[in-house]
């Protein structure tokens, strides 16, 4: 035997055993990887199925969620403020019920003013700041009734806070729980009106404005504002105003965030001139009187 040649101690049986062990290890490793792959795949499918089921559940719940009644004292979708700044009381509309239009004075002795306005709309604020003060004494003495219709048309114009919707909901809360504070509360939202495009007032500030307006049932109003109790009603009422028709008027529907009607006739004059609006009231009153006055009998020969 050459000194450079080493003896081979391996036996054929040992080689085969080592090969079988190596094959077993490879099979075990492959099986583990396959189980992990199947587990991950099954888990992914489960998660996807659960996600789909969750979405379906949300859709179903949203579809069957009962609609809430409308606020009290707003059966016409508006708040009618009359003599002494007192609100005309009405029952709450049942869910999905149609609004009941208010009835103008058949004798035309009281001027009927209806204002559809969004609390974020700058032009709406210009009109209300200009005219509410001169209207207040006329409402107090019964010469005029003012019907306020809060609408939420600029809901997407407040940096994601939905201020128009929240403010209109707050107005509905005040009308429902303490209607005689509505006039001052409505005016306060326009006196210090937030800018269009900004976040608007917080719910906390809205609650403070209601308290400052003299609302007595602040606990009820606060919880109503917090849980957005009348938001769905506000949306529906706004849709009604936008789709029309507008009751007791020749106007078909709202075309922007402000609509002012005097005895059913739309005001199209200056929003910052109290004199112009006063003249329009007098003209509408005169026209109404002329159309309803009893004609003088013609003497017979």
167-209 pLDDT per residue, tens: 999 999 999 999 999 999 999 999 999 999 999 999 999 999 9
Query: SS3 for 256?
Result: coil
Q: Mean pLDDT, to the nearest integer, of 197-225?
A: 97
Beta-bridge mates of residue 76: none
Going by C-beta distance under 8 Å and a sequence separation of 6 or more, which residues neighbour residue 157? 120, 164, 196, 197
In whole numbers, what is the pLDDT of the chain averaged over residues? Answer: 86
Query: DSSP secondary structure string, 6-59?
Result: PP----HHHHHHHHHHHHHHHHHHHHHHHHHHHHHHHHHHHHHHHHHHHHHHHH
Least confident of 17-21, 120-124, 139-143: 17-21
Q: Is 248 left (phi over 0), alpha (psi -120 to 50) or beta?
A: left
How far apart are alpha carbons 112 and 145 in whole angstroms?
5
């Amino acid at each position: 035997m050459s000194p450079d040649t080493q003896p081979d101690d391996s036996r054929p049986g040992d080689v085969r055993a080592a090969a079988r062990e190596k094959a077993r290890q490879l099979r075990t490793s492959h099986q583990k990887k396959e189980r992990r792959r199947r587990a991950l795949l099954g888990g992914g499918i489960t998660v996807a199925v659960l996600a789909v089921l969750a979405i379906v559940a949300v859709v179903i719940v949203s579809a069957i969620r009962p609609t809430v009644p409308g606020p009290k004292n707003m059966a016409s979708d508006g708040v009618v403020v009359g003599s002494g700044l007192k609100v005309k009381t009405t029952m709450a509309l049942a869910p999905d019920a149609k609004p009941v239009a208010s009835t103008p004075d058949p004798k035309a002795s009281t001027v009927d003013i209806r204002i559809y306005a969004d609390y974020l709309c700058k032009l709406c604020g210009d009109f209300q700041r200009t005219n509410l003060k001169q209207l207040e004494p006329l409402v107090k003495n019964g010469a005029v009734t003012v019907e306020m219709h809060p609408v939420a048309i600029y809901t997407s114009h407040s940096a994601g806070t939905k201020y128009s919707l929240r403010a209109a909901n707050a107005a509905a809360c005040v009308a429902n729980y303490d209607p005689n504070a509505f006039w001052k509360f409505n005016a306060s939202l326009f006196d210090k009106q937030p800018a269009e495009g900004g976040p608007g007032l917080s719910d906390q500030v809205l609650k403070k404005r209601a308290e400052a307006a003299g609302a007595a049932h602040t606990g009820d109003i606060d919880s109503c504002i917090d849980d957005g109790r009348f938001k769905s009603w506000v949306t529906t009422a706004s849709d009604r105003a936008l789709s029309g028709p507008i009751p007791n008027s020749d106007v078909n529907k709202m075309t922007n965030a402000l609509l002012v009607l005097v005895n059913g006739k739309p005001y199209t004059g200056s929003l910052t001139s109290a004199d112009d609006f006063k003249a329009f009231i007098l003209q509408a009153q005169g026209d109404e009187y002329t159309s309803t006055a009893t004609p003088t009998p013609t003497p017979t020969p």
